[in-house]
Structure 1
Amino acid sequence: MSKGFANNRLTFLSLGVVACFMAVGVRLVFLHVIDRDELLRFVDKARRQIVVEHARRGAILDARGNLLATSRSEMTVAVDAWSLDEYLQIEKNPAKRVRRAAEEQAKRVQLAALLGLSTAEVEQAFVPTMRPIKPELDKRDGKVDGLTKDRWVKLREGVTDPVFDKIAALNIRGLTAERVYRRVYPGDGLAAHLIGFVNKEGSPQSGAESRFDLYLKGQDGWIESEKDGARRELAQFRSREVPVQDGNDVVLTIDSVVQHIIEDELKAIADKYQPNFATIIASDPMTGEILGMANYPSFNLNEYSKAPLTALNNRAVTDTIEPGSTFKIVAAGAALNEGLVMPGSMFDCGNPMIDYKGKTLKLPKEDEPFGMLSVADIVAHSSNRGAAQLAMKLGEDRFYDYARKYGFGQLTGFALGGEVRGSLAAPAKWDGLTITRMPMGHAVSATPLQIHMAMSAVANGGVLLRPQIIKAIKDANGNVIRSFAPERRDAALKPSTAALLAQLLTGVVREGTAKGFDIAGFEVAGKTGTTQKIIDGKYSTTRHVSSFVGFFPASRPEVVLSVIVDDAHVPGGIAYGRVVAAPAFKHIAEQLIQYRDIKPVPPVTHSLLAMTGGAQ
């Protein structure tokens, strides 16, 4: 071999070595200078982790502290199959690797039994897989192929803490878990329209769950730290920790026992009459606090996805009806309040025609023939013509103003929302017969809650209150951080007038349209209503809204109660308020008297004519 050839070999070798070093140098420049920021972000992202700790949603309680809604702690168990694969590949000794795999497989058999899954299902979850990802985001594994390692495969959700403790003790490689809180409702369908529900995505959908979400939801906590190659947290590298703040508890005004009573009665009404819908409301007249509110149809909060959409509506505030004879408290109360009449004032309720402002108007029909009736009799026997004449004494504008003072045509301010205002046309929009029809509860529409709160104004001395559904907000330690007081909306009547009208309303159950539904010693005051439904633009003679709205005891009111049933089916008869609603009212009232320990009142004289003078 020549000397020149040897020198050439040495030269080429030297050049190759230099080229290698230059390549390494260039690569180092790219790694440490040109691509430094991007690579640091990649490494930081790979090592750093943010672990979210979910806040526990606050509970919803009734006024006595009974649980209406709560959050149950559960674990969602998932698998990072690649973590297991990486753990096994670290072991270079084939025999030890096989032994490790066998040990992990034995643990997974126990895992399957604890989760109630087949071994095959669990084994499938531990097979490493790739999942698609947008190519522009594919920077996780060094390959821009639109695929990345799937490091989270859900195995089972809803795992209870005791079961998870057993799973955690197995120390299974590749198994991960997240604590979640599942919303549960101990009463199933109890107060469903008031409580509302939280869906599977954790979003509140209606009722208190939605309206008071700001108080209930709390604030998630989180931890920012680093993880090792096995994806375990390195606690010593925690850089930030925000503690979780659990949600506050919301206390409603309802009483679970009262709610049970009215819901049981609703079921009885539904079974007997198959109505389109029915609503029962009970409240404290002095505070406006709702003690119970229920609708038919309803639904099970724990199975909300199975409920038809029509069952989700709180019909007490979303649906309107013509109030019918329950509206007669407006004309009677207003005429008494203005001093235009006294209980003994007489009116001709037998004449079908009347002269009013230079015109002869046709008065509405009566359910039974009447002659001369006092104001007390007009209220007790629910005279349509008598109510019309009382309104005529007031005139259109004053009558309309009083209807507004009773809360008709306005939102009640119900805190759970969803309500409609109903309709109450101003006098300028009335036709020639409205003054004769509106006093009997036609040509006006209202929600069951509006009708209820109007009667409550009579019971409490003439004050229209906002219906109260929320009582207080409590923190996680049970301390009250906000309370809610009664809210006055308007003054419908003078206290003396309200007390007088209350006594007139006792005549309804004593001798009038609801005779026989009094409760001895407890002075039931109330008003029946039987409203013809408008079908195809005409008043039907066979389909009605039945109602009874009242309170007790009349001289010392403690409960206002409304029973409203839409389109009850009464075989061979008409769904009068006294037939459908009054019996339910009495049955509920008897139970509430016992449960709330309401004391009887001394007997009073009902000779209102003697108390207030003769006829005008």
Structure 2
Amino acid sequence: MRAVFVIFLISIAMLAAKLFHVQIIKHEWLKARAEENWDREIPFGAIRGEIQDRNGELIVGNQLAPTLYFMPSQNKEPEKAAAAIAGILNADADELLEKMSKKEYMVKLAPEGKNITQEQADEISKLQIEGLYTGVDYMRNYPNGELLSRLIGFTGYDGLGLAGIEYAYDEILQGTGDKIRLYTDAKGVTLPHVDDGFQTGDNGASIELTIDLGMQKVMERELLQALEKYDATQALGIIMNPKTGEILSLVSMPTFHPAEYQDTDQAIYNRNLPVWMTFEPGSTFKIVTLAAGLEEGVVDLHNDHFNDPGYTMVANARLRCWKREGHGHQSFLEVVENSCNPGFIEIGQRLGGDRLNKYIRDFGFGESTGSGIAGEAKGILFSKEAFGPVEQATTAFGQGISVTPIQQVQAVAAAINGGNLYRPYIVKEIKNDKGETLQSFEPEIKRRVISEETSAQVREALESVVANGSGRNAFNDGLRVGGKTGTAQKVVDGTYRDGDYIVSFIGFAPADDPELLVYIAVDSPKNSVQFGGVIAAPIVGRIIEEVAPLAGIEKRDGQLEKEYRWGDPITHRVPDLTGMTKGMVARQLHTYRIQWHGEGEVIKYQMPVPDSVMSVDDIIHVYTEE
């Protein structure tokens, strides 16, 4: 009996110790394990990271969009509940009832109850329907509408990125989301002795692009007007800082609204034209041939001359100039100004096939630029075996090869920035939700392709193209614009299509120290002569004029004056009339039309400002009072 009694006491002590261990020492751990068996989570939508421009302006954000969840075990009258909320959601009651009758512990009422308005959520909340919960969700918000849509892309039903920046940087932009934890038994009945919980998630990181929204708006407006004016199939544009490779604007037209991508042709939202589209570059490619010829010393712009009869013979093939009668005797600077095909064939022949091909590849053609933009193509070049005399000749003036617009911009940037080939890039910084920088991106030089001296000669020649040559419609007084036209016949099923062209222009400013590089192309324009100098050049001229202040570019001295040609409007420099009286102005014997404002004696200021260009029909407004 004593032994039994001792064993009993020991057992009581062990039981007490175990109870102490379970209820005191292991209490929190066991409670957490139990709650994991009891909890039912109502998710709050993850807050996806924002997409901003280089100045922190919002491109893509988030807006509150409640979502409904239903626990069938907590409601004995699903038919009544479905009928009550169907009217508010403008949904079919039978379809809702089918979802609300599922043998699941929780049902997401989607798509009817996903991303509903706050007003609908408030109205449903007043019904006090058992088992119906409102989860906090978010949907993408586009404060600028369709702006940049083919670059930024869109998110799908589940909030994941499906195209563009949203797709390429999906893992960075995603958040984990908060959750409400409800505690129920196996049948879904709420446990009265356990308080509901809340689990905090993480917000997604935000992406700051190199894009300047101000420049983007200008570019999109101009290309939209071009589409309408010329009844074109599509259009594209790029603005880049040639000194860094930062892409300041990227446009594909036509565009679409990212929130309505389901109603958009996939060929639109899946194709970001500046990186996806490949076509014969035409005369804009001549910049590469020119840079190679100058670097190798096979041509002198001022001292070498060339006679153009309108064609040249290469391996029994007659290759014509765009000007049928030819340009006659000209310096190689005039060859560039006139965009003379036989002249560029001559430069290519002086270089030889191997050297020309080497420079083409050194300038980045035939490979991806590494921009980080989804869907980038590589273009098509002749293989070494297929690069015969005719292919060499046509390549020298931009025919027979296929390149992307972003490759052309990368190459021309190197030709004018001093000879450095920069990698184009679109993302500037990645930041967490506290604004702290997680990763930043800096300019990256791939290699040097030409010397500073050669680059200066290229800039000189291209400024002359705008002042005196085929790019005269891009001229802007004081901004010193340089550039090159392009007119490429479209190839369909291996043959050139008559009367169907892609017209383009690539321009930069200022020519002495380039800060902006602008490229646009218009596909299949109508209602006009199909030349890059007629259609594309004036568009680039207007874009540069409007975005120059955004880039901090001011007018400067030393520009090449635009050469007057028959048919041009007659212009003159505005005289400086400030500080003069009406009598002094009369004694100047000016023939300008002058309109006086104010009752004072002395001119305080005038419009247009002195030394700007005005036509003979314009009026000078002078103001005699502040």
Q: Look up the equivalent residue of 2:420 and give its one-letter code.
A: V
Structure-to-structure mapping, 1:55-454, within 5 angstroms: 55-80=46-71, 82-85=73-76, 115=88, 121=93, 130-131=101-102, 156-161=113-118, 164=121, 167-168=124-125, 171-220=128-177, 226-227=183-184, 231-232=189-190, 236=194, 243-312=200-269, 313-351=271-309, 362-368=318-324, 369-454=326-411
The one-character-per-residue Cα deviations of 1:414-463 (angstroms, maximum 9, x if unpaired) are 21220111111233322331122111101111111111221111232111
Q: Is the 8 A contact 2:121 2:134 kept in 1?
A: no
Q: For residues 51 and 535 of structure 1, what CA distance do their matches in structure 2 show?
A: 55
For the residue of structure 2 that corresponds to 1:551, the secondary structure is strand
Q: Look up the equivalent residue of 2:53 and give its one-letter code.
A: D
Q: Does 1:481 align with 2:438?
A: yes
Q: Please give the TM-score of this superposition, normalised by the length of structure 1.
A: 0.77
**1:556 Cα deviation from its structure 2 partner:** 1.6
Bigger drift between 398-407 and 423-432 goes to 423-432
Number of aligned positions between the proteins: 525
Q: Is the 8 A contact 1:259 1:294 kept in 2?
A: yes
Comparing both structures, which one devotes a greater share of its residues to helix? 1
Q: Look up the equivalent residue of 1:546 and give its one-letter code.
A: V
CA spacing shift, 1:223–1:84, aligned 2, 3 Å? closer
Q: For residues 375 and 127 of structure 1, what CA distance do their matches in structure 2 show?
A: 78
The one-character-per-residue Cα deviations of 1:154-179 (angstroms, maximum 9, x if unpaired) are 66332345664565466442322222
CA spacing shift, 1:362–1:299, aligned 2, 3 Å? same
Q: Is the 8 A contact 2:311 2:342 kept in 1?
A: no
CA spacing shift, 1:193–1:243, aligned 2, 3 Å? same
CA RMSD of aligned residues (A): 3.3
Q: For residues 127 and 317 of structure 2, what CA distance do their matches in structure 1 show?
A: 88
CA spacing shift, 1:407–1:126, aligned 2, 3 Å? closer
Q: For residues 279 and 430 of structure 1, what CA distance do their matches in structure 2 show?
A: 30
The one-character-per-residue Cα deviations of 1:112-139 (angstroms, maximum 9, x if unpaired) are 88x4659x959x96899744xxxxxxxx
Q: For residues 140 and 451 of structure 2, what CA distance do their matches in structure 1 show?
A: 47
Q: Does 1:583 align with 2:574?
A: no
Look up the match of 2:520. Answer: 563
Look up the match of 1:455. Answer: 412
Q: For residues 496 and 97 of structure 2, what CA distance do their matches in structure 1 show?
A: 69
Q: Is the 8 A contact 2:481 2:508 kept in 1?
A: yes
**1:344 Cα deviation from its structure 2 partner:** 1.2
**1:553 Cα deviation from its structure 2 partner:** 0.6
Look up the match of 1:23. Answer: none
For the residue of structure 1 that corresponds to 2:479, the secondary structure is coil
Q: For residues 148 and 454 of structure 1, what CA distance do their matches in structure 2 show?
A: 60
CA spacing shift, 1:412–1:149, aligned 2, 3 Å? closer
**1:203 Cα deviation from its structure 2 partner:** 2.8
CA spacing shift, 1:235–1:583, aligned 2, 3 Å? farther
CA spacing shift, 1:65–1:269, aligned 2, 3 Å? same
**1:516 Cα deviation from its structure 2 partner:** 4.1
For the residue of structure 1 that corresponds to 2:540, the secondary structure is helix
Q: Is the 8 A contact 2:210 2:246 kept in 1?
A: yes
Q: Is the 8 A contact 1:353 1:361 kept in 2?
A: no
Look up the match of 1:599. Answer: 554
CA spacing shift, 1:187–1:233, aligned 2, 3 Å? farther
Q: For residues 303 and 179 of structure 1, what CA distance do their matches in structure 2 show?
A: 22
For the residue of structure 2 that corresponds to 1:64, the secondary structure is coil
**1:471 Cα deviation from its structure 2 partner:** 0.6
Q: Look up the equivalent residue of 2:136 and give its one-letter code.
A: R
Bigger drift between 398-407 and 77-86 goes to 77-86
Q: Is the 8 A contact 1:82 1:128 kept in 2?
A: no
Q: For residues 272 and 352 of structure 2, what CA distance do their matches in structure 1 show?
A: 36
Q: Is the 8 A contact 2:67 2:137 kept in 1?
A: yes
Bigger drift between 245-254 and 214-223 goes to 214-223
Q: For residues 191 and 535 of structure 2, what CA distance do their matches in structure 1 show?
A: 67
For the residue of structure 2 that corresponds to 1:546, the secondary structure is strand
**1:284 Cα deviation from its structure 2 partner:** 1.1
Q: For residues 44 and 510 of structure 1, what CA distance do their matches in structure 2 show?
A: 78
Note the residue ranges of structure 1 that are not aligned, 5 or more in a row.
1-42, 88-100, 132-146, 608-616
CA spacing shift, 1:336–1:53, aligned 2, 3 Å? same
**1:310 Cα deviation from its structure 2 partner:** 2.0
Note the residue ranges of structure 2 that are not aligned, 5 or more in a row.
1-33, 563-626
**1:561 Cα deviation from its structure 2 partner:** 0.2
Look up the match of 1:26. Answer: none
For the residue of structure 2 that corresponds to 1:509, the secondary structure is helix
Q: For residues 401 and 107 of structure 2, what CA distance do their matches in structure 1 show?
A: 63
Bigger drift between 223-232 and 554-563 goes to 223-232
Q: For residues 233 and 459 of structure 1, what CA distance do their matches in structure 2 show?
A: 73
Q: For residues 453 and 235 of structure 1, what CA distance do their matches in structure 2 show?
A: 67
Q: Does 1:514 align with 2:505?
A: no
Q: Is the 8 A contact 2:274 2:406 kept in 1?
A: yes
Structure-to-structure mapping, 1:11-30, within 5 angstroms: none
Q: For residues 212 and 537 of structure 2, what CA distance do their matches in structure 1 show?
A: 23
Q: For residues 386 and 477 of structure 1, what CA distance do their matches in structure 2 show?
A: 59
Q: Is the 8 A contact 2:464 2:560 kept in 1?
A: no
For the residue of structure 1 that corresponds to 2:438, the secondary structure is strand
Look up the match of 2:601. Answer: none
Q: For residues 363 and 153 of structure 1, what CA distance do their matches in structure 2 show?
A: 67
Q: Look up the equivalent residue of 2:276 and give its one-letter code.
A: T
The one-character-per-residue Cα deviations of 1:82-128 (angstroms, maximum 9, x if unpaired) are 423299xxxxxxxxxxxxx9xx99x997x788x4659x959x96899
Q: Please give the TM-score of this superposition, normalised by the length of structure 2.
A: 0.76
**1:55 Cα deviation from its structure 2 partner:** 2.2
Q: Is the 8 A contact 1:77 1:176 kept in 2?
A: yes
CA spacing shift, 1:284–1:235, aligned 2, 3 Å? farther
For the residue of structure 1 that corresponds to 2:343, the secondary structure is helix
Q: Is the 8 A contact 1:352 1:362 kept in 2?
A: no
Q: For residues 78 and 176 of structure 1, what CA distance do their matches in structure 2 show?
A: 5
CA spacing shift, 1:514–1:148, aligned 2, 3 Å? closer
For the residue of structure 1 that corresponds to 2:115, the secondary structure is strand
Structure-to-structure mapping, 1:490-509, within 5 angstroms: 490-509=447-466
Bigger drift between 501-510 and 75-84 goes to 75-84
